Amino acid sequence: MSLAGHLREFRRRFVISAIGLVVAMVVAFFLTDWIIWAMTEPIRMVAERRGEEAAVKLMYSTITGPFDMRLRISFVVGIILSAPVWLWQLWAFLVPGLTRKEIQYTVGFVAAAIPLFFGGCFVGWLVMPHVVEIMATFSPESAANYYEGKYYYDFVFKLIIVVGVSFVLPVFLVALNLAGVMTGKDILKGWRVAILIAAVFAGLATPAADVVSMLILAGILVVLFFAAAGLSMLFDRRRAKRERTLLPPEVSP
């Protein structure tokens, strides 16, 4: 293809992806009532625990706040729902320029990264109510907790996405190993730093008072790190064995 041909192909793939996203956003907009109800469940739990004397509610400080929140939720959920469409379009655009080995690596990367990301998002969703509940315990009994809708939405989705991305990081370590940037032993040498980072991240993602959630999240991240290191060492061993078989035999004098 010429450069103009590539640009036309990219435009066609982009338009199809955009249409898929818009359709998914429309569908997601009708699901926002259920999503907002699920997101605000921790608020209702805090309100029930504190009683009627202390107000605990979700609030909007602007006239367009409720619509803006629904639009934000529709966009994020629309990206998730339309993922099969835009991922396929991206794949179809890139595949012609990849070798067979690169295609195999890409398929393996995507097959590992997608379930890990959604698994991390699920863990973030499970952790989120505990964060809201424990943070509310620091408010005085006579105080009222009004959670501004925009910031509450940002807090929930950023927490979920950050935890989801953290679960995918081991896949990037394996990708660096396959690219020859790092060996499995190099990855394993950083286990102390990895444990420290996992503990700090879990401490930031979960309140210090919720030790159980912090240990579970840190433990999952550490297990994923060691799994990535072990898989990389296995790849190194196979690569070394393949190289030995390709070496010509030494000629004796």
CA 67-71-76 angle, 5° bins: 150
State residue 146's pLDDT score: 84
Q: How confident is the model at residue 151 (pLDDT cuts 50, 70, 90)?
A: confident
The structural domains of the chain, with segments of one domain joined by +, span: 3-243
Distance CA 113, CA 136 (A): 34
> Rounded to an integer, what distance in angstroms lies between the CA atom of residue 69 and that of residue 150?
6
d(CA 220, CA 202): 10
What tokens does 34 get? 């259920």
Check residue 102 and give its pLDDT. 67
pTM score, whole prediction: 0.72
Please determine, for residue 19, whether its predicted confidence score (pLDDT) is greater than 90: yes
Alpha-helical segments (H) within the chain: 3-29, 32-39, 41-50, 65-81, 83-94, 100-136, 149-178, 184-189, 191-205, 211-246
pLDDT tens digits for range 45-55: 877 776 655 56
Rg (CA), the chain: 24
